[in-house]
Amino acid sequence: MTFRLSSRAMTIPETASAKEQTVWHVAHMLDDEGKAPSLEQLAARVGKSPGHLQRAFKQVTGLSPAAFARALREERAVRALEQGGRVTDAIYDAGYESPARFYAAMRERLGMSPSAWRKGGAGVRIGWRVVETSLGPMLLAATDKGVCRLSFNEGEADLRDHFPAAELVEGGLPDGLLERVLRQVEGHGASGDVPLDTGGTAFQRRVWAQLRAIPRGETRSYAEIAAAVGNPKASRAVGGVNGANPVAVLVPCHRVIAADGSLGGYAYGEAIKRALLRREAGEG
């Protein structure tokens, strides 16, 4: 089952499991309240322990209840601003207690500022390495906020093309990050365990959030992702955002396939996409 960030648009299928029904009801509670209830309050309302609810919610949506509530709040503010609303109205209507809280949340969410991304990483230090994996040579690059690029069969010159104004430091990755990324790339790490710094427009971030919510071993079509972000006619745009994903595997764009069930395209070749899907399906 795919959850949209706006839970009001969700419909729960008759075949939903008891766990999915519980998560759906909690998502509605988070969307209905200006200030999100605590995990303990949510758990009491659905008759579950806080730990059980936390695990179930993350398994179904890819986010914890607190992260889901933050995403809803940010989404409300961003959509209001995109529609031309007054900044202060958008911030308070979305549930923020002050403009400072909103801007702090957005800095944490965006990592590298949008202007820095547009200017090719100007003023940003990016550590990078190329390492061998079972899928071929992998380029990993990261700021102090998180991974800004993960690709295959690329090197420093390619990274420079994406961030021509950044300070590139070979080997300058945050401690432990490479090991965490390798565990996920090789199929041994938990989804969402690696911090990201991917920039992107509001629409791109909505699509990438939906990709991260696709459970391991499952796939979605471009049309399903378009519907999940609230724009069923945007399949072509979703395809473009999918192709522009700067962090392969961590944002699992390989889990999006063509409507007829064929693999569809992949920036790093169908062989890598097929290998990832087979591995996740338990076939290798």
Is 253 one of the annotated active-site residues of the chain? yes
To which H or E segment does residue 140 belong?
Answer: strand 136-142
Amino acid at 48: K
List beta partners, residue 129.
Answer: 140
In DSSP notation, the chain reads -PPPSSGGG----TT--HHHHHHHHHHHHHHH-SSPPPHHHHHHHHT--HHHHHHHHHHHHSS-HHHHHHHHHHHHHHHHHHTT--HHHHHHHTT-SSHHHHHHHHHHHH-S-HHHHHTTSTT-EEEEEEEEETTEEEEEEE-SSSEEEEEES--HHHHHHH-TTSEEEET-PPTTHHHHHHHHHTT-S-TT-S-B-----HHHHHHHHHHHTSPTT--EEHHHHHHHTT-TT-HHHHHHHHHT-SBTTTS-GGGEE-TTSS----TT-HHHHHHHHHHHTT--
Taking the CA of residue 200 as centre, how many other CA atoms within 13 Å lie in the half-sphere pointing to its CB? 24
Place of tokens 């007054």: 86
Chain Cα centroid distance, residue 213: 7
List beta partners, residue 142.
Answer: 127, 147
Chain Cα centroid distance, residue 181: 15
Catalytic residue among 5, 26, 253, 272: 253
Residues serving a catalytic function are 253
